[in-house]
């Protein structure tokens, strides 16, 4: 038995088999259960060490050879797998409340398995191919068979597919730069290829137009799942590049490019968030700023930046999950998520409304909520290096906060005669309640995730050391 078989092939096999499941609840239980078991295994199973059960002993090898290359999952990667599968379990269990479990469980497990494969594959730059396969698996997830292919899906497919060749060529060129560091032309070519590739994969301005389109046309819960998982895997690929190539890590221009791209994402995403009239698009642009925060964190020196990237991981997943679930609940009752259609919904769906507002406020860095500690760390570190960058980050935060306050105003402004009620189901109330408590716990006690987060930088040999 090897680690890649457990955390890559088992989810893909279970996901493929669960395509046969016809009941929402069974699909949610299978998906959530599988992900929870894999989370537990990532936390307790030692890699490359014998695990004794009485007279039996089991050793989980770290590598699995396939077509002459290795898939390797070291023990240093186990905390990340625990976070990925733990969060995936939450998404799969919540999928029943959103009414998409039969779609999300199979394709979600397959996508998660492929993206873990992208973390495991050696050489790491082949990860781009596995990310592309997960993008292909995401198309039927985004587009149920009773819905016309939208511009968003087509654009998502095109942009994500175009990213792959650029990353592969950049990887090849980067090796050349390493061999001859003085070759300026090669360095520029390699950095350009890398920049374009990641611009497509991470949906960096201006290639993020598919995100709001998808949020309008597809299930918000499904899009939220992808907006959480895909940028996470792509960011790890980006960090692997920084870790592997010293010329990238030490290049002033690359760091400056990361900072500019991050600021453009945060400012443009924040400003667009402030002016949206559609709940889904509002979440889409808030998600765009999240990618900006990751890029800004990477632009700090690696010792402070890398822990912030990982600190963003859990609040980001929590905010997207709660927001997406809340939107799905309202989406299932209303024909449109435009502001006029959802006026006063807080009276009839108070928990869903609270979920959306708290998610938006958490993403804006509102104190006492989960998003506050990483944003404060990012803002203070960034401002120490560049006051103007700190100012622009503030503009992004203000945009996000404006969007959240406008949403609050729309949701609570109702006819006085409308009675208060809670029309969410018990399962929905339970999931939203846990999420809302999660915001407060991670906001008030961010250190509770430290036992896992502290180990994440060990995945990289050079970054964070």
Partner 1 sequence: MIVAIVSWTVVAGLLITSAGLLLYRDWRWGLALLVGQYAGVFWLVLQHWPLGMAAAKLVGGWMAAASLGITLLNLPQQADPVEKYWTQGRAFRLFMVGMAALLAAAAAPSIEAMLPGTGIPVAMGGILLTAMGLLQLGMTTQVLRVILGLLTALSGFEILYAAMEGSSLVAGLLVVVNLGLGLVGAYLLIVASAEKTE
Chain residues in the site for partner 1 (CB under 8 A): 66-69, 121, 126, 129-130, 132-133, 136-137, 139-140, 143, 145-149, 151, 153-154, 157-158, 161-162, 164-165, 168-169, 172, 186, 189
**Which residue's CB is nearer to partner 1, number 143 or number 459?**
143
- To the nearest whole angstrom, how small is the minimum distance from the Cβ of residue 107 to partner 1? 12
- To the nearest whole angstrom, how small is the minimum distance from the Cβ of residue 414 to partner 1? 36
**Which residue's CB is nearer to partner 1, number 156 or number 285?**
156
* Distance from the Cα of residue 394 to its chain's centroid: 22
**Which residue's CB is nearer to partner 1, number 154 or number 257?**
154
**Which residue's CB is nearer to partner 1, number 142 or number 329?**
142
- To the nearest whole angstrom, how small is the minimum distance from the Cβ of residue 217 to partner 1? 12
- To the nearest whole angstrom, how small is the minimum distance from the Cβ of residue 388 to partner 1? 36
Alpha carbons 282 and 264: distance in angstroms, whole number: 17
**Which residue's CB is nearer to partner 1, number 209 or number 422?**
209
Length of the chain: 465
Burial status of residue 242 (CB atoms within 10 A of its CB: 0-12, 13-18, 19 or more):
buried
From the list 45, 127, 89, 82, the residue with the least C-alpha distance to 310 is 82
Identify the H or E element spanning 309.
helix 302-333
- To the nearest whole angstrom, how small is the minimum distance from the Cβ of residue 38 to partner 1? 23
Alpha-carbon dihedral of residues 424, 23, 89, 237, nearest 10 degrees?
-120
**Which residue's CB is nearer to partner 1, number 165 or number 195?**
165
- To the nearest whole angstrom, how small is the minimum distance from the Cβ of residue 1 to partner 1? 21
- To the nearest whole angstrom, how small is the minimum distance from the Cβ of residue 24 to partner 1? 21
* Number of DSSP helices (H) and strands (E) in the chain, helices first: 19, 5
Alpha carbons 185 and 35: distance in angstroms, whole number: 46
Burial status of residue 179 (CB atoms within 10 A of its CB: 0-12, 13-18, 19 or more):
exposed
DSSP 349-374: -HHHHHHHHHHHHHHTT-TTSTTHHH
**Which residue's CB is nearer to partner 1, number 146 or number 416?**
146
**Which residue's CB is nearer to partner 1, number 125 or number 329?**
125
Alpha carbons 311 and 305: distance in angstroms, whole number: 10
Alpha-carbon dihedral of residues 231, 211, 220, 355, nearest 10 degrees?
70
The helix/strand/coil state of 60 is strand
Token pair, residue 205, equals 């301005």
- To the nearest whole angstrom, how small is the minimum distance from the Cβ of residue 180 to partner 1? 12
- To the nearest whole angstrom, how small is the minimum distance from the Cβ of residue 146 to partner 1? 7
Burial status of residue 74 (CB atoms within 10 A of its CB: 0-12, 13-18, 19 or more):
middle
**Which residue's CB is nearer to partner 1, number 165 or number 344?**
165
- To the nearest whole angstrom, how small is the minimum distance from the Cβ of residue 172 to partner 1? 5
**Which residue's CB is nearer to partner 1, number 67 or number 252?**
67
Alpha carbons 163 and 203: distance in angstroms, whole number: 10
CA 403-448-458 angle, 5° bins = 100
Identify the H or E element spanning 287.
helix 279-299
């Amino acid at each position: 038995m090897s680690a890649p078989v457990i955390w890559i092939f088992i989810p893909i096999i279970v996901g493929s088999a669960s395509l046969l499941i016809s009941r929402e609840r069974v699909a949610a239980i299978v998906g959530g259960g599988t992900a929870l078991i894999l989370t537990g295994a990532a936390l307790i199973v030692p890699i490359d060490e014998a695990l004794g059960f009485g007279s039996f002993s089991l050793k989980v090898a770290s590598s699995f050879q396939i077509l002459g290359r290795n898939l390797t999952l070291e023990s240093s990667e186990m905390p990340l797998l625990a976070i990925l599968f733990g969060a995936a379990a939450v998404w799969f269990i919540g999928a029943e409340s959103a009414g998409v479990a039969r779609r999300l469980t199979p394709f979600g497990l397959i996508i998660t398995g492929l993206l873990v494969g992208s973390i495991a594959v050696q050489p790491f730059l082949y990860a781009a191919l596995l990310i592309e396969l997960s993008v292909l698996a995401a198309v039927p997830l985004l587009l149920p068979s009773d819905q016309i292919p939208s511009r968003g899906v087509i654009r998502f497919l095109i942009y994500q597919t175009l990213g792959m060749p650029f990353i592969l060529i950049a990887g090849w060129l980067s090796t050349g730069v390493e061999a001859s560091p003085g070759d300026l032309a090669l360095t520029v070519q390699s950095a350009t290829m890398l920049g374009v590739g990641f611009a497509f994969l991470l949906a960096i301005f201006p290639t993020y137009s598919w995100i709001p389109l998808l949020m309008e046309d597809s299930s918000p819960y499904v899009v939220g799942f992808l907006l959480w998982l895909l940028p996470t895997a792509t960011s790890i690929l980006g960090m692997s590049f920084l870790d592997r190539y010293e010329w990238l890590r030490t290049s002033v221009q690359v760091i400056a490019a990361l900072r500019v791209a991050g600021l453009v994402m945060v400012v443009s995403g924040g400003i667009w968030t402030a002016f949206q009239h559609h709940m889904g698009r509002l979440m889409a642009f808030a998600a765009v700023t999240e990618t900006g925060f990751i890029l800004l964190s990477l632009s700090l020196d690696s010792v402070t930046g890398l822990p912030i990237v990982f600190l963003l991981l859990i609040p980001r997943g929590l905010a997207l999950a709660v927001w997406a679930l809340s939107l799905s609940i309202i989406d299932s009752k209303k024909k449109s998520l435009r502001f006029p259609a959802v006026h006063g919904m807080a009276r009839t769906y108070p928990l869903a409304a609270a979920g959306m507002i708290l998610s938006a406020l958490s993403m804006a860095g509102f104190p006492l909520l989960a998003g506050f500690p990483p944003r404060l760390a990012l803002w203070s570190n960034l401002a120490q290096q560049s006051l103007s960058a700190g100012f622009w980050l503030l503009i992004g935060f203000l945009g996000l906060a404006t969007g959240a306050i406008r949403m609050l105003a729309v949701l609570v402004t109702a006819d006085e005669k409308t009675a208060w009620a809670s029309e969410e189901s018990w399962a929905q109330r339970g999931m939203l309640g846990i999420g809302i408590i999660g915001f407060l716990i991670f906001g008030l006690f961010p250190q509770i995730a430290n036992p896992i987060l502290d180990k994440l930088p060990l995945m990289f040999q050079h970054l964070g050391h």
